[in-house]
């Protein structure tokens, strides 16, 4: 009675697709929309120049903050 037997493993497993760090990714909201707008809130004017503010990316359809 054989409990263990050696089997042929076959070929090497296929390599997964390499993902490069520089490859762009689509920005998709949880609502499924891919349209977005970049806004800055809290900007101030100092000596006639616009300074400060917080940059946010908003979904156009549901107005959720994406970044």
The pLDDT, as a whole number, for residue 39 is 93
Cα–Cα distance, 23 to 18 (Å, whole number): 10
Instruction: Quickly list DSSP for 4-21.
Output: -------SPPPPPPP--T
The predicted-structure confidence for 27-66, as pLDDT tens digits, reads as follows: 889 899 889 999 998 999 999 999 999 999 999 999 898 8
Q: Indicate if the pLDDT at residue 23 is higher than 90.
A: no
């Amino acid at each position: 009675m054989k409990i263990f037997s050696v089997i042929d493993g076959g070929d090497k497993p296929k390599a997964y697709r390499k993902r490069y760090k520089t490859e762009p990714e689509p920005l998709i909201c949880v609502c499924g929309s891919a349209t977005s707008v970049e806004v800055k809130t809290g900007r101030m004017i100092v000596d006639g120049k616009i300074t400060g503010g917080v940059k946010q990316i908003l979904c156009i359809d549901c107005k959720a903050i994406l970044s």
